[in-house]
Amino acid sequence: MFSKQTIRDVDVKGKKILVRVDFNVPLKDGAVADDTRIQAALPTINALLDGGAAVILCSHLGRPKGVADPAFSLKPVAVYLAGMLGKEVAFAEDCIGPVAEAAAAALQPGGVLVLENTRFHKEEKKNDPAMAEQLASLAEMYVNDAFGSAHRAHASTEGVTHFLPAVGGLLMEKEIQYLGQAIAEPRRPFVTILGGAKISDKIGVINNLLDVADQILIGGGMANTFFKAQGYPVADSLVEEGALETASELLAKGGSKLRLPVDVVIADAFDNDAQTKVMQMAPIEDGWRILDIGPETVAQYGKVISRAGTVVWNGPMGVFEMPVFAKGTFEVAQAIADSDAVSIIGGGDSAAAIKKSGLADKITHISTGGGASLEMLEGKTLPGLAALLDK
Ligand code: AMP
């Protein structure tokens, strides 16, 4: 399934290896608030160290807008990583240029160096060849383990592969295998569940899934745009007016494959303390808005999920950040955990919901990359993956 070379196919002994990891972790008060992505990078880092390599790690963090901004420094991540590895981790206050070059030159086999945020240079997102060449000059080989950034052709994910032999890391391989398999050869019925705020993000995904999936269950704010396209007044619900026509086309193409909620939770304010009602889907009264799927929908979706061979879920069923509107999301999470299906959770909010409900152990694979997994579901090639050496 994974057609690219990985770190298992190459000799890393004594070599300096530049590894693009996804250390785009949430920080709180200058410290790592969730280490999922750091944990996920450890197998590759440890395998390289065990193989006698010197490991140079690079990543972006947040959106620093192409300038050095201390709020987005990877220094706290380097400190955290040192604790996890139980060894010293060097840090270079720039990812290219003299500071990075000196730090890389000083690194010995078995050593680990973290480079500062690649997005402190505007050239990163422009996939600037000069930046890519500078990054590449730090090492003798490149490993891409940043599945979460593989859908971006940036200097540190794609450009750099033009200057160094480039292979995949173990996380990259694992992510591609699970999702790739689910899409290419799903155990059927193949059920996908899509939620979240916006339909425009997921039009391409729905289009592609209508060809490969058996059922697409819709929830979250994106359902509202479908409702409006069907002619329901949705009052103060979140709607993407610009996507109404596409929503109609998808409904026509989807037929019974594409399922919408049959009942909804509405509220008279976007507030956890708002007055709420459960109603069968019907015109929404002025002053009210849809903020979650209803119990009948949960029951129906649960039944479909319980019979599934494969389930892929991306996006919450309601405004799950507010406990009053979190039920649909958590009950769908429970239904997935209870099923015998191969279950794959796209990153982001759905992954957070699964973890928060303590169900992570019951899931086949929780992806570290929301955007990247959506692009795979859309049938797109990931540039960071395509650029790696073929097997
Ligand atoms: P996305 O980033 O597109 O996956 O959307 C996630 C966001 O969608 C979460 O912050 C939810 O609060 C929000 N969301 C889910 N359902 C609704 C809804 N019915 N109305 C407004 N926002 C929603």
Residue 314's pLDDT band (boundaries 50, 70, 90)? very high
Q: Is the CB of 290 under 6 A from ligand 1?
A: yes
Closest atom of ligand 1 to CA, residue 198:
3
What is the pLDDT averaged over residues 81-86? 98
Q: Is the CB of 197 under 6 A from ligand 1?
A: yes
In tens, the pLDDT along 128-144 reads: 999 999 999 999 999 99
Residue 88's pLDDT band (boundaries 50, 70, 90)? very high
Q: Report d(CA 172, CA 382) in Å as an integer.
A: 11
Catalytic machinery residues:
37, 198, 348, 371
pLDDT at 389: 98
Closest atom of ligand 1 to CA, residue 314:
4
Q: Is the CB of 318 under 6 A from ligand 1?
A: yes
Report DSSP state, residue 187: P
Q: Is the CB of 236 under 6 A from ligand 1?
A: no
**CB distance 347 to 151 below 8 Å:** no
3-class secondary structure, 44: helix
What is the pLDDT averaged over residues 23-33? 94
Is residue 1 predicted with pLDDT exceeding 80?
no
Q: Is the CB of 267 under 6 A from ligand 1?
A: no
Q: Is the CB of 349 under 6 A from ligand 1?
A: yes
What is the pLDDT averaged over residues 375-390? 96
Closest atom of ligand 1 to CA, residue 319:
12
Residue 216 CA, chain-centre distance (Å), reads 19
In tens, the pLDDT along 328-380 reads: 999 999 999 999 999 999 978 899 899 889 999 999 999 999 999 999 999 99
CA of 221 to the centre of ligand 1 (A): 5
CA of 141 to the centre of ligand 1 (A): 41
CA of 238 to the centre of ligand 1 (A): 9
The pick from 234, 238, 332 for probing ligand 1's pocket by mutation, whose C-beta has the most ligand atoms within 8 angstroms, reads 238
pLDDT at 331: 97
* Among 12, 11, 2, 19, residue whose Cα is nearest residue 391: 2
Q: Is the CB of 315 under 6 A from ligand 1?
A: yes
CA of 266 to the centre of ligand 1 (A): 14
**CB distance 243 to 203 below 8 Å:** yes
The pick from 199, 203, 319 for probing ligand 1's pocket by mutation, whose C-beta has the most ligand atoms within 8 angstroms, reads 319
Q: Is the CB of 338 under 6 A from ligand 1?
A: no
In tens, the pLDDT along 231-261 reads: 999 999 999 999 999 999 999 999 999 999 9
User: Which residue's C-alpha comes closest to atom 13 of ligand 1?
Assistant: 197
Q: Report d(CA 375, CA 26) in Å as an integer.
A: 22
Q: Which domains does the chain have, with CATH numbers?
A: 7-171 (3.40.50.1260), 178-377 (3.40.50.1260)
Query: Measuring CA to CA, how many Å separate 123 from each of 26, 67, 76, 104, 153?
Result: 23, 10, 24, 21, 12
Residue 141 CA, chain-centre distance (Å), reads 26
**What's the mean pLDDT when you consider all of the chain?**
97
Q: Is the CB of 374 under 6 A from ligand 1?
A: no
